[in-house]
Amino acid sequence: MPRVAFQRLCHLYSRMEESYLLAAREIGLSCTDCPDNCCTSYFQHHTRVEWAYFIKGLNQVHEHLRQRITMRAESYIQQAQLEMSQGRTPDIMCPVNEDGMCTLYAHRLMICRLHGVPNVHIRPDGKTFQFPGCFRAQKKTGSADPLSRLDRTPFYRELAALEKAFVGPRIARFPRVRLTLAEMIVQGPPKMSV
Ligand code: SF4
């Protein structure tokens, strides 16, 4: 089952990347020479299928790299807890990043693939959320509402369906996933039983 789920996830990731490239091209957005690094953004992730696929990638890298990532993940968790206890949103480099580059690029999670361009998400209850994109995207689009935003809705739906298939019929009994990548790294692969 994981093999099929991971294949479907890779296919979904490819389509996300295609949509991202189209949306970026449309507004002339490029990450080249950007003074910022999105990998310091604070994100939580919500699916076991992405979590398991990421850990699979982590287990394939050289042991020394894996140790460095794990040590940085431990310190990320402590620092993030401290910053949040002081009322701040953590702004800490992702433990997977070395010298400004993602060391697990092929296994990075959905949000790493969609962040940056202006986008929209329509929830099942019909509520719409719009995001203006990164600071560079906002400079490109100015105050104008970009006509074409990357629509995350079909991707979220498909990921939710994939998560259901991956976890199985008892999914409702599982606790909700709400973890940073650092927490996923330190916890290891998701538990697949309740
Ligand atoms: S997984 Fe990779 S792309 Fe995503 S935040 Fe970490 S370093 Fe950046």
pLDDT tens per residue across span 37-73: 999 999 999 999 999 999 999 999 999 999 999 999 9
pLDDT tens per residue across span 5-26: 999 999 999 999 999 999 999 9
**From the alpha carbon of 111, which atom of ligand 1 is closest?**
4
Q: Are the C-beta atoms of residues 174 and 167 closer than 8 Å to each other?
A: yes
Pair type for strands 119-122 and 101-102: unpaired
Among protein residues, the one with the nearest Cα to ligand 1's atom 4 is 112
pLDDT tens per residue across span 101-142: 999 999 999 999 999 999 999 999 999 999 889 999 998 887
Its pTM stands at: 0.93
**From the alpha carbon of 101, which atom of ligand 1 is closest?**
7
Q: Which of 167, 170, 173, 168 is nearest to 190 (CA)?
A: 167
Whether ligand 1 lies within 6 angstroms of the CB of 94 is answered as: yes
Report the C-alpha gap between 91 and 109 in whole angstroms: 18
Q: How far is the CA of 142 from the centre of ligand 1 (A)?
A: 27
**From the alpha carbon of 96, which atom of ligand 1 is closest?**
7
C-alpha distances (whole Å) from 111 to each of 13, 39, 43, 193 are 10, 10, 8, 26
